[in-house]
Structure 1
Amino acid sequence: MSVLQKVCKSPDANDLEQVMSNSISLGPSSQQEIQGTDNSTPEDPPNKSIVTPFLASHLQDQDDCEKRFCYRHNPKVRFDRRSDETKMREIQSELEKLPRRDKEAITHVWSIFSAAPTQHRSLILKGLLSQCCFPQLSLISQEVSKLIKIDFIETLPSEIALKILCYLDCQSLCNAAQVSTRWKQLADDDRVWRYMCEQHIDRKCPQCGWGLPLMAVKKLQECSRRRRSNDMDSTEGIVERLPPRLDDCKPNVKRQKVNKKRPWKAVYSERYTVERNWRKGLYKIKRFEGHMDGVLCCQYDNNNLLMTGSYDKTIKIWNVETGKLLRTLTGHTRGVRTLAFDDQKLITGGLDSTIKVWNYRTGQCISTYTGHEEGVISVDFHEKLIVSGSADNTVKVWHVESRTCYTLRGHSDWVTCVKIHPKSNTLFSASDDSTVRMWDLKTNECLKVFGGIENNGHIGQIQCVIPFSLKDAIVTDFDEKLTDETQKQTEEQTQSDQDSVLQNPELPSHLLTASLDNTIKLWDLKTGKCVRTQFGHIEGVWSIAADTFRIVSGAHDKLIKVWDLQTGKCMHTFAGSSAPITCVALGDSRFVCGMENGDVKMYCFDA
């Protein structure tokens, strides 16, 4: 006999028979009670049964069965019944193979344990475990690991279960909804998905790293589409009427919100689909054909309107959904270099040195501003304030109400881009002199200059500047900490700046710039230094656009690149354009590019 056999040797058969006969010897009456049939034989010993009194004393304590049900055997709890049924069939099959006397003994052991109260059950189990060898203990471990699991979502109160589900990501929540009816009810609860939307929409979730587009004007698009459909039905001729002002749609949108409330899961699903398509590069292309010369500027406002300006001296207004040309505006005597619009007006700047303000719904030119000596390269506006940058190296600030104009001088070459930051009441201007200047719109003074080799600035003409603030941590080129000497120089430089303005909490935290040196740079506003340079284009970058999550760039190399704003990594490169990319515009689910040959393409990620 081996050592293992000696260690795992079972109790002597005679001893086991004696124990069984002394402890569970049954008379005919008790056998009939338990089995329901008369299994007595002449060979059975005439011992008095001790099972019947035990069962009789404890079964009467179980009158209120429902209160005594444990979690596993409670009929109100949906446990894994299939596995129980399978296991019972296996046990029954093995039981049928045993002799009759063994069946009776095993059955009565089960009956005693089933009728025993909790304390007695624990005592019986402890005694059985003390008699088990390692093979039996291994079997117990395997079986218990399957049976010890509990459906905590169904057992816990709904409030706690919902709190737990809020820690799951989107994919896990969808998987949880497939577990059972109860799980689906909780996983689809509006409170869970509202929390998901708050964690992801217009911001990046710190846990999963996903952020979803805002898409705040989705319902306004639908409203405008319905109104335009009604307007076009009553319009004669080939010229289509433009959509009404968004203010006209507000009552309908409010009434729609009252009558029908969208589930938060549907809101999340819509935005998740768009973000997934952005990440995977799944899109459809729409083309807008009509310009006779190169497209110089474009803007897409998420509200079903696209406007483009061209060397052919025209501005064209397009319906994004249908791709139809709604209106062509003429008035500039040379190419339209820049444009900006909102839901009321359109402002354009031309190479004819003029700035025009349009009512683009009627096609009427409201006013024309003259003052620049060379072509107007860039315009921007906020409320009653218009700013313009020109090839005459100046920036002009036009106050519409007071009819005054201030000229800001400082750049030594063309001013290629101007951007107003309304919160801080500042203006940023980019120039072909490879610098960006920050101006105070109250005093018209230059507050700071960004550029220079000492600040790792551009070595080519800067074509775009975008001020922005981001709460999430941004990955920079300088992961290591600054040395004491560098930190001291930075502090001295900061003290020499105009602290009262630069410490304004409303100022943007960073700047993005694009240059003809083929790079895109990220600047820290406080230090005035470039903290990240993004390489990838092989020719000059003409235009960039950015939102909370990404940057889109178009360059002379005929490529469009999509970058992650937080990390600076290139996510996608879109080739196939037949000409250099001169301008780009970005929306929540789409971006537009204009090309030197007059083509306009829209990449749609919500299809």
Structure 2
Amino acid sequence: MLGKCSYGANCRYQHQWSIGAGFSEVIELSGHDKDVSAIVLPLASDKLFSGSKDGTLCIWDCNTGKCGNVFKTGAEIGCMISEGPWLFVGCPSVIKAVNSQTGADLILSGTFGQIHSLKVGNDMLFAGTQDGTILAWRYNDSSKSFELAASLRGHNLAVVSLFVGAGKMLYSASMDHTIRVWDLETLQCIEVLTEHTDAVTSVWFRNESSGNLEAIYTHYVDHGLRLLHGVHDGDGRPVLMCSCNDKTMRLYDLPSFEERGRIFSVEEIQAVDILDRSMFFTGDGAGKIRVWKWSSEQKTEL
């Protein structure tokens, strides 16, 4: 677990960072000194972007697995997303936007604390902030800049996760124990979900439907959850990935919630990104990025 085995690949014990069937590790990428807080693989790109609390942004070549460029942001990176030609990087009280086509480098600034989550929906960029506000930015073609369109208020503590649904709804998870549902047309909160008894650290939506939401099932784990991510495996089956505070990521088949595997890490897994149905990426608190592939390979049974 400490990565200090003197025998390396010749060790008689398996150096295996997962158990379960249908996925396997491809490579480990090392380049950050602190927590990997964001991983992004832009659509149709051969470059993988990773952001860290050490204040660096690394660009990896997907063909060689090598880090080609390292950029220092001057502050810890809280989140990062890619949308079209834009790469958005969330740092304390600032969002940095870079356009890969035009080379434009823009700064969206304010006094709202760390940016914990970024999402795009209804032609707007939404940012979940430390002070509980959700900021909505819209790009102005005339001025070639992003302008603040609205500030969505309602949460009492930090907004740490956002999800945009297909029905033009924005879902926000907060340290104040609630999830709020926002109408993207009116930018008004239309529902508050209060079933959680502690901080809601991640929100993800599947099989969206109309009408009010209600809790229909609760799945308990031994440790707190850090991150949720939904994906389809190599066979097209839905899988829920749950990063837990015990430094594992647990994979569940949906809708049965039957556990199909676990990924182990030296520190908590804090970032995940998906490449269609072939690969996925995890980043942890030790600064490591691991690349995984879906397969039919049978591994150790749980």
Deviations 1:442-482 (A, max 9, x none): 2221111112xxxxx2222111112232xxxxxxxxxxxxx
In structure 1, the partner of 2:267 is: 579
Distance 1:424 1:563, change over 3 A: same
Q: Does 1:291 align with 2:32?
A: yes
CA drift of 1:365 comes to 5.7
2 CA distance for matches of 1:300 and 1:531? 34
In structure 2, the partner of 1:354 is: 94
- 2:160 alignment partner, one of 405, 410, 416: 416
In structure 2, the partner of 1:530 is: 215
In structure 1, the partner of 2:235 is: none
Indicate the SS of the match to 1:531: coil
Correspondences of 1:182-581 after superposition (within 5 Å)? 280-300=21-41, 303=44, 304-331=46-73, 333-350=74-91, 352-360=92-100, 366-382=105-121, 384-401=123-140, 403-421=147-165, 423-451=166-194, 457-469=195-207, 508-509=208-209, 526-536=211-221, 538-548=222-232, 549-575=238-264, 577-581=265-269
- What value does the CA root-mean-square deviation take over the aligned residues? 2.4
The answer to which of 563-572 and 353-362 deviates more is 353-362
Give the greater-gyration-radius structure (CA): 1
Asked if 2 retains the 8 angstrom alpha-carbon contact of 1:553 and 1:584, the reply is no
Q: Identity of aligned pairs, percent?
A: 23
Deviations 1:277-326 (A, max 9, x none): x9723413311111121111223457444221101112222223421113
1 CA distance for matches of 2:20 and 2:211? 32
Extract structure 1 runs of 4+ deviating beyond 3 A.
Answer: 300-305
1 CA distance for matches of 2:269 and 2:105? 31
TM-score by structure 1 length?
0.41
Distance 1:299 1:541, change over 3 A: farther
Structure 1, unaligned stretches of length 5 or more?
Answer: 1-277, 452-456, 470-507, 510-524
1 CA distance for matches of 2:181 and 2:48? 30
Report the residue type matching 1:563 in the other structure.
Y
1 CA distance for matches of 2:125 and 2:256? 34
Distance 1:360 1:595, change over 3 A: farther
Structure 2, unaligned stretches of length 5 or more?
Answer: 1-18, 142-146, 233-237, 298-302
The answer to which of 369-378 and 400-409 deviates more is 400-409
Distance 1:540 1:297, change over 3 A: farther
The answer to which of 284-293 and 428-437 deviates more is 284-293
Indicate the SS of the match to 1:467: coil
Q: Which gives a bigger RCO, structure 1 or 2 (Cα 8 Å, sep 6+)? A: 2
Report the residue type matching 1:313 in the other structure.
G
Indicate the SS of the match to 1:539: coil
Report the residue type matching 1:420 in the other structure.
V
Indicate the SS of the match to 1:528: coil
Asked if 2 retains the 8 angstrom alpha-carbon contact of 1:544 and 1:552, the reply is yes
User: What is the aligned residue count?
Assistant: 266
Distance 1:449 1:461, change over 3 A: same
Asked if 1 retains the 8 angstrom alpha-carbon contact of 2:35 and 2:54, the reply is yes
Asked if 1 retains the 8 angstrom alpha-carbon contact of 2:161 and 2:201, the reply is yes
Asked if 1 retains the 8 angstrom alpha-carbon contact of 2:23 and 2:292, the reply is no
Indicate the SS of the match to 1:573: strand
Report the residue type matching 1:559 in the other structure.
T
Report the residue type matching 2:192 in the other structure.
V
Asked if 1 retains the 8 angstrom alpha-carbon contact of 2:121 and 2:184, the reply is no
More helix by share: 1
Indicate the SS of the match to 1:368: strand
In structure 1, the partner of 2:280 is: 591
CA drift of 1:436 comes to 0.8
CA drift of 1:342 comes to 3.4
Deviations 1:546-594 (A, max 9, x none): 025111121221111111122111111222x211222222331222211
Report the residue type matching 1:367 in the other structure.
L
Asked if 1 retains the 8 angstrom alpha-carbon contact of 2:174 and 2:199, the reply is yes
Distance 1:427 1:384, change over 3 A: same
1 CA distance for matches of 2:227 and 2:89? 17
Indicate the SS of the match to 1:400: strand
Asked if 1 retains the 8 angstrom alpha-carbon contact of 2:131 and 2:156, the reply is no
2 CA distance for matches of 1:282 and 1:393? 37
Distance 1:318 1:433, change over 3 A: same
Asked if 2 retains the 8 angstrom alpha-carbon contact of 1:555 and 1:582, the reply is no
In structure 2, the partner of 1:165 is: none
